[in-house]
Structure 1
Amino acid sequence: MDTGDTAWVLASAALVMLMTPGLAFFYGGMVRAKSVLNMLMMSFISLAVVSVLWVLYGYSLAFGEDVGGGLLGGGDFLGLDGVLGTATGTLPHVVFVVFQLMFAIITAALISGAIADRAKFWTWTIFIAIWATVVYFPVAHWVFDFDGLTGEVGGWIANTLGALDFAGGTAVHINAGAAALALALVLGKRKGWPREPMRPHNLPFVLLGAGLLWFGWYGFNAGSAVGANELAGVAFVTTTVATGAAVLGWLIVEQVRDGKPTTLGAASGAIAGLVAITPAAGFVSPLGAIAIGLVAGVLCALAVSLKYKLGYDDSLDVVGVHLVGGLVGTLMIGLLATTGVNAAGQDGLFYGGGATLLGKQALAAAVVMAYSFVLTFIIGFILNKTIGFRISAEAEATGIDESEHAESGYEFSSLRGGGSSLGKTADMLAQKVSAGKEG
């Protein structure tokens, strides 16, 4: 075991953990003021639920000995039995466990943006538990569990198919994006959408969340080198330049289409670039990363308008950013991957490798997308028909923060209350304005 590798992966795990609160602020700023707390909680509860399940059986299903066909891990590590005191490569096994846990947490949380303003909190919590068990843990086994990684036989995408996914384009972003689309269809449209404007209530929150996500994403991508080495440095660079290129691509689309570049567009473009480079970060050159980011920024900026044309209410554009961005990055590996960056990878079409890798990438993306969509739709449909998934129309009109949590994000009434100096000042100003009008 190597102490440098261990320290880097532990730090990376902490960075990825920070991404979930970052996501909460990113999503929280994009909703209306009456929904901000619920949006924050939908991400926060994923930390609680998935952490417990991961230790009980999630890690075992994802990284245990394959029980047939590369589809699911077995019960080798239930309760993390057999983990302590063992190693995975140059890491203590338990360090790898906690690093992978953070991926599972944020993948479930990503879905919440598609159903903002209208989902019952406890049903969402139950959904996370079921979805992680039935969808995420098996897909993580397919994509992330290489033969011999934990001393076991691994999953079919990583080993039998041989598709490339450095940090989770399929297992995280395509998976979450397809699930988001399915759940948006199950719950239906928000009341008043798309007739009523439902603008972000706090753009500084959105930009703060995007910044935290960008910062944490270095753990996500560079940490996936699973060591303090040159490959981690390459992933760090490609992550940076792809994200920058995606911001530029998104803003150029806004300028041409709408006449103004927006703060929301800059934040969304950054996330699109981060999503797209995730599967490719350790397989493409910095120039290839710029190409991926630019394409993702443009295509995702165009894709977010599809919901208006097709009629599905993806509240915060999870489909347009994560599903489309994940597909862009996963497929462009088939064009731009080079063994000059990573000898463990393959050469893509533009580097003389032919179309074979592109075909593998397309198959992996299609299977994960179909599996996640179908299973999520079934889970959501059953929950909606049994315990109910959507809040009442009255609760939606009043605000989900009040109806689900008996709280509000902002106590506006305090500005008019007589018990505080701020309230008294507000009253005095109001009286002066009134007196001036009467005069």
Structure 2
Amino acid sequence: MSGLGHVAGNVGSQYNYTTTDWLDTGDNAWQLTAGTLVGLQSVPGLVVMYAGIMRSKWAINSAFMAFYGFAATLIVWVLWAYKVAFGIYMLPFAGRPGPIMTMQQELGQSQLPSVSPVLFQNFPLSTMVYFQFVFAAITIVIMAGAFLGRMNFTAWIIFVPLWITFSYCIGAYSIWGGGFLYQMGVIDYSGGYVIHLSSGTAGFIGAHWIGPRLAADREDSRPNNILGVLVGAGMLWLGWNGFNGGDPYSASADAGVAVLNTNVCTAMSLLCWTACDMIYFKKPSVIGAVQGMITGLVAITPCAGVVAGWGAIAVGFASGTIPWLSMNDMGRRVAYFRKIDDTLGIFHTHCIAGFVGGFCAGLFATIEGCAAFGISNPGGAIDGNGKQVWLQIVGALFIIGWNIVWTSLIMMFIKYVLRVPLRMTEEQLLAGDDAIHGEAAYRSETGPQELGMGGVTMGHDPQAPVAGEKSSNNVKHD
């Protein structure tokens, strides 16, 4: 819809808003729905999953890291970060920062001003800001999975806005917002690089700077609630329909292709991971199946709407085997990987799987899929465009390198300049949730007609004993 409205760099079109001839209500409805599905992946999806997959003494802290990250990202996003990622050109890898807070901006037509010619969407800028926010938020929440069980919460509070600003927004602008990788033709349909490669790299590097959990927590890391893990995993899987189906920015035919391919790849990946577990460990693992589900979702993300159905199956096979090998072979044999305490294996499930998916985009992208998505790439190697493979590698190397440098700089700034410890104290590490938040996920003793969960009574000081009950400091942890 080029030529509609006045291009003002995310200011919005100058219209009488009662006659918005650019608004497609179907596209707007789908985009808001897709954004909400992505939001549900974080809250409550990963909140529930993290609470269940950790030891019970870390359930509250793990869930709260995700909960805080979601909220903090939104405020940063609307005050300055959205424009860094999708605003007017400032640098080849960053837009000009600024707020999206006025009614004129929010009602105006969405546009990508750094793309030439400027791209318009058939929905308001407010919808675009929200849709892109949930992507930024889930990146932070995914990364938190590498830091669970020992990161100082104050350091996490500081880290989130800094990393969104100096790392996430750079990748988003470079690949999606009209930056230099976009202009080169790197394909990242829905965030295999911007979200997963970046969170996997940053999680691994951040885990290096923070240091490991207690030895006892590493040795006994059994989940406290596997059914809770499955509930969170189910929200991830179905929420991914909005994750990948929303990125054509319209309720288009290609959105349907992306949704179908997402589910096909994920199912294939889960089956392959389970088969590997059965061959190697002689047992099918529920947690392993969840890991295989996640790697399938991650790997299809950069190519969901540009590969055919057989391509989705091929990607699923790769994502169900290569990350399995990296986690269960390289992760155990290479000394450096044993040293780094990546709590949930985010490096393997997101960095490795994201790279696999991006590489597969270079191999299996089709001319028809690229055209349906609205990009000019002449497919991938399967259609004679071998150059796309090298473009995908270049894009991956930039995201990896940028995150290694900036995650390290941010961690060092927090530790050495602000003098805020990155790791909890030994006392906090021993006690867990009760010492950090004054709350516990499960009570060891309950009163009449009380459920055995929920470690704080509303309206009471969590450190003070409630009448007839023991102090929360006496909660027994696993």
- TM above 0.5, yes or no, is yes
1:7 to 29, 35, 52: 29
Distance 1:77 1:286 in 2: 41
Rate the CA distance shift 1:26–1:194 in 2: closer, same or farther, 3 A. Answer: closer
Instruction: Give me the CA root mean square deviation.
Output: 1.7
Q: Distance in 2 between matches of 1:406 and 1:77?
A: 36
**SS in structure 1 at match of 2:246:** helix
Segments of 5+ residues of structure 2 without an aligned counterpart are: 1-22, 111-120, 453-478
1:388 aligns with 421
The 1:165/1:112 distance shift into structure 2, 3 A limit, reads same
5+ residue gaps in structure 1?
Answer: 146-153, 424-439
1:265 to 285, 288, 298: 288
Match of 1:196 in 2: 219
Equivalent pair of 1:279/1:330 in contact (CA under 8 Å): yes
Indicate the residue corresponding to 1:156 in structure 2.
Answer: 180
Aligned equivalents of 2:342, 2:218: Cα separation in 1: 15
Task: Spell out the pairing of 1:185-264 with structure 2 (5 A cutoff).
Answer: 185-192=208-215, 196-264=219-287
Quote the residue 1:432 is aligned against. none
**1:205-354 correspondence runs (5 A):** 205-305=228-328, 306-308=330-332, 309=334, 310=337, 311-343=339-371, 344=375, 345-353=377-385
Over residues 351-386 of structure 1, what are the superposed CA-to-partner deviations in whole Å (9 max), with x where a residue is unaligned? 222x20000000000110110121101211332331
Separation in 2, partners of 1:42, 1:422: 25
Aligned to 1:359: 390
Equivalent pair of 1:59/1:80 in contact (CA under 8 Å): no
TM-score normalized by the length of structure 2: 0.82
- CA shift for structure 1 position 156: 1.1
Answer whether contact 1:307 1:314 (CA < 8 A) is retained: no
Distance 1:61 1:210 in 2: 31
Higher helix share: 1
* Aligned-residue offset at 1:307: 3.5
- Aligned identity (percent) is 34
- Conserved? CA contact 1:65–1:76, under 8 Å: no
Please give the residue correspondences for 1:93-242 in structure 2 after superposition, counting only pairs within 5 Å: 93-145=125-177, 154-159=178-183, 161-192=184-215, 196-242=219-265
Which residue of 71, 79, 83 maps to 2:105? 83
Q: Distance in 2 between matches of 1:247 and 1:421?
A: 38
Cα 1:322/1:421, change in 2 over 3 Å: closer
Deviations 1:262-288 (A, max 9, x none): 111111111110000001001101110
Which of 431, 434, 443 is the matching residue for 1:398?
431
* Residue 193 (structure 1) shift: 6.1
Structure 1 CA distance for aligned equivalents of residues 205 and 228 of structure 2: 27
Q: Is the 8 A contact 1:182 1:374 kept in 2?
A: no
Q: Distance in 2 between matches of 1:394 and 1:406?
A: 14
Deviation, structure 1 residue 324: 0.6
CA deviations 1:206-231 (Å, max 9, x no partner) are: 11111001111111100111111100
8 Å CA contact 1:27–1:39 kept in 2: the answer is yes
CA contact (8 A) 2:79 2:98 kept: no
Task: Check 1:334–1:326 CA distance in 2 against 1; reply closer, same or farther (3 A cut).
Answer: same
- Once the 2 structures are TM-superposed, how far is the Cα of residue 421 of structure 1 from its aligned partner? 8.3
Deviation at 1:316, TM superposition (A): 0.5
SS of the residue 2:90 aligns to: coil
Residue 239 of structure 1 and its aligned partner are, at CA, apart by 0.3
Judge conservation of contact 1:283–1:337 (CA < 8 Å) in 2: yes
Distance 1:51 1:335 in 2: 35
Match of 1:430 in 2: none
TM-score scaled by structure 1? 0.89
Q: Which amino acid aligns with 2:179?
A: G
Does structure 1 retain, via aligned residues, the 8 Å contact 2:303–2:357? yes
Give the counterpart letter for 1:9 in structure 2: Q
Residue-pair matches, total:
408
For residues 63 and 97 of structure 2, the distance between their equivalents in structure 1, rounded to whole angstroms, comes to 34
Aligned equivalent of 1:74, options 68, 90, 96: 96
User: Which amino acid letter does the alignment assign opposite residue 329 of structure 1?
Assistant: G
How far apart, in 2, do the equivalents of 1:307 and 1:169 lie? 22
The correspondence for 1:54, drawn from 71, 77, 83, is: 77
